[in-house]
A and B are shown apart, each in its own frame.
Chain A
Amino acid sequence: MRESQHAGRLRLRHLRESTEAIGEDMAQEAKRFHDLAREDRAPKAVSAFNLFQTPSEVAARMVEQLGSVDGPILEPSAGLGRLYRAIREQHSNPVTLVEVASQCCAELYRELESDRAATLLQRDFLECELGKFSGIVMNPPFKMGRDVKHIKHAIEHLAPGGKLVALCFNGSRQNKQLRPLASSWEVLPAGSFKSEGTRVDVVLMTYEKGLK
């Protein structure tokens, strides 16, 4: 019994040391969880007209297709900024984001607070005159042929030598009006927007000013 008591005491002292060390680590970590416990840390639910965000993989591909850009970049119908985040991974150029939904703007404003090269405008893009941009990346609303109007309006904002990368619906109107303008026309695989809750057929098109 005496040996067992001695061994037990040694084990307990060793455990006390390790428990105290872990306690100190946990005291440091506790801040993270106290912060997470705040109700305002809960994610927001945002809804807006025809809001289907660009899946991250598609967004990365679009920015890749944009290539290198010298001047400012425009992102109309910015939504919650998925394309903006993909742009920021590769470009540090000034970016102008246009979004009409106030809830989306509120979220975007929070994200863009620390980015001095980003400009956020809460407007209807079709009524905007914003000047010329070297690159435009966009995922416009598809409903009732709005994507055609948006892309055509965006082309007007493209500086000579600039490039536009856009998504649009693979419909007859789009094929008739946009395909002749496009430098490239790639139908994305079916279900590309499945994660956003739609199985719409989508086309990834590019337009380069000066080539046509």
Chain B
Amino acid sequence: MSSYGFDHRCTYCPEDNKLRFYPDWDDPDFDKEHLKSVGYRWASKQECYVCPRWTPKAEDAALDYVADVGDEDYSPEERAADRAERFSGYRDKRRSEAHGHADTFDAGPSAFGYQSQAKAERAASRHDRHRVKSVSQWSKAEYWQRRTTGVIENALYRSSAKVRRGRLVRLEAEQRKHLKHLEEATERYDGWCKVAEMDGAGELMPLDESGHVDRSRMNAAHVLAYKLANLGWLHFWHPTRDDLNEECKRIHNGTVHGFTAWDLLTQTRYSVTQDFTRLTPAELAALIVENLTDPREEGTSWQRWSRHYELRTGYENAMLANEGGMAGDVEMEVGGTVGRYVIHRVNKSRASGRVTSVSVLGDAYHNGEGPAPKTLVKLELERFGQDVYSPPTDESKAKLEAEKAILKAQDSKGSKKPKLINPTLEDAQRLTALMNSLAQAQYQAHRGTFGEYKPIEPREMTQATYSANAKGSYSSLMTRNMKSTGEWKGYHDSGEIVCKLRAAYPGNNWTGTPYRLVVITDKPQKPLPLDWEAVEQWYDERIAEVKEKAAARV
């Protein structure tokens, strides 16, 4: 398909990450469908095919026609200016048409009189078309005015340094993700290479009577192959059973690309009528190694993506160096200032090591009564330049101390924060029993006789287990506030908070199930600071209330 004799041209623009292909229409071998199949689209105003995002496939498709991909000389800003000029041309045309029609309408009479009513109506209607047309054209002129403004503002915004900073942060995140995936792919490839050479890889995966994998009889090659087969979505056609391949294509109508590695290792039947010929780990490894390339090999898609990310981040960094750099790259200190705010804490990204935000004194969320209490709020710095930061001065340090004093005074004046308590197992069980009784009543009130409530129990674990599983926003372990009524603090209720307890998701299928109490076994335990009589009375009242409401509903 090579057409190097013709004047095709392909460019890459690092600003918008687009590939542009300027075809030479004299080339009889040029196949636009070939470009379209990898994402290129014809841009009539630019008179070229544009691929909205660089990919190795898109680049390869262009390289079928050109020797190399050049640099784009025409910037997105100039393209936007062209576009804005084009739109303003549309606007001016519509505007003058609107005025022309309006002038014609105004020059005519306000009434058309004839002996015949039909004729009068026809004449009035004919003249009214000028009015309708002028209003319509004016509406279009306003539309193109909005579009012109939009194009200009959008282009100026996108060419600002803050957008480049945001883009760089996103690019670096994508690059890290890519490198992580590359590492995993390399491990998988090495793993399959290792499986091919392991002893026992020539034996089929052991299965039990019901057809499931029998882990007790697995050898080392089976264990590794089974683990690798569960990673990634590798699809291969069966090397010896063409009938199965045809059947698979027929059933899925071309939407799948073969059997998964796991299928090839463990399946005994394909459908009700057809059996499945399994592969040994060695056969599967040979198939995979034959079909895949080493991700470390130069020229693979993996390496091209790595190179692409390096070039893009390099380009963005070079451009940013002339546009004020990134605030995150500056070594910030507590006591320094960002604008008019004094820094109380510097927050860095664990991934990039860059400063992402600083904590400064600000207003806390409150109910609007009286002055807002002060708290530390985060100022995101990802889109700021280096000049936003000023090192600490005597004045800023004094301000920092003053602000700290405000926070301290506020803390001592306000209600004390509840203490974290590790309850005794007896207390935890007693409270859980009460929670279960209320939840049981609520379950019956809501769901009647459908299913039954599964009671919860306190969870016992060591501090190490708790710490390991309580990290992150989506962990199943957390600390929650406990009210004097023996109920967890919710979002919308009020009540005196007496302590903070470790809690776990109930792991139940009913949403009304309360959180489970967690008891740390290797730490000192304390009785819960609850008035048990009052707590039992509160639960009894709630249960009676729930039952009463349920009865009233029936």
Contacts and interface: CB of A to CB of B under 8 A. Distances in A.
A50 B80 contact: no
Contact of A197 (B72, B75, B98, B116): B116
Interface string B95-128: 1001100100100111111111101110111011
Given A1-B72, A110-B110, A9 B77 contact: yes
Contact of A43 (B14, B111, B114, B134): B111
Given A26-B141, A30-B142, A1 B75 contact: yes
Contacts of A8: 75-81, 155, 159
B15 interface: yes
Looking at chain B, what size class is its interface with the partner chain? 35 or more
Interface string A189-212: 000000011000000000000000
A193 B125 CA distance: 21
Contact of B112 (A12, A32, A45, A50): A45
Interface string A22-53: 11001001101100110001111111111111
22 contacts: A4-B73, A4-B75, A4-B77, A5-B159, A8-B75, A8-B79, A12-B77, A13-B156, A15-B85, A19-B88, A36-B134, A36-B135, A43-B108, A45-B112, A45-B124, A46-B120, A47-B114, A47-B115, A47-B119, A49-B115, A51-B114, A111-B110
Nearest to B134: A36
A37 B112 CA distance: 19
Closest 3 CB pairs of A and B: A8-B77, A8-B78, A11-B81
A9 B155 CA distance: 8
Contacts of A118: none
B111 A44 contact: yes
A123 to B, nearest CB: 18
Contact of B102 (A23, A32, A48): A32
Nearest to B73: A4
Given A7-B78, A8-B75, A12-B152, A44 B84 contact: no
Contacts of A70: none
Contacts of B15: 1, 5
A46 B498 CA distance: 85
Contact of B84 (A5, A7, A19, A30): A19
B106 to A, nearest CB: 9
B149 interface: yes
A107 interface: yes
A79 interface: yes
A160 B91 CA distance: 63
B120 A47 contact: yes
A89 to B, nearest CB: 15
Per DSSP, chain B at the interface is helix
A16 B85 CA distance: 11
A9 B159 CA distance: 8
Contacts of A104: 113
Contact of B113 (A23, A51, A110): A51
A80 interface: yes
Interface of A: 1, 4-5, 7-9, 11-13, 15-16, 18-19, 22-23, 26, 29-30, 32-33, 36-37, 41-53, 79-80, 103-104, 107, 110-111, 196-197
Contacts of B79: 8
A46 B102 CA distance: 22
A45 B114 CA distance: 8
A44 B116 contact: no
A127 to B, nearest CB: 22
A48 B159 CA distance: 67
Contacts of B453: none
Given A11-B81, A45-B125, 13 more contacts: A5-B15, A13-B156, A19-B145, A22-B88, A33-B102, A33-B134, A37-B135, A43-B111, A48-B113, A80-B109, A80-B113, A197-B114, A197-B116
Contacts of A47: 113-117, 119-120
Given A9-B159, A11-B81, A23-B145, A44 B124 contact: yes
Given A4-B75, A26-B141, A45 B121 contact: yes
B88 A15 contact: yes
B131 A41 contact: yes
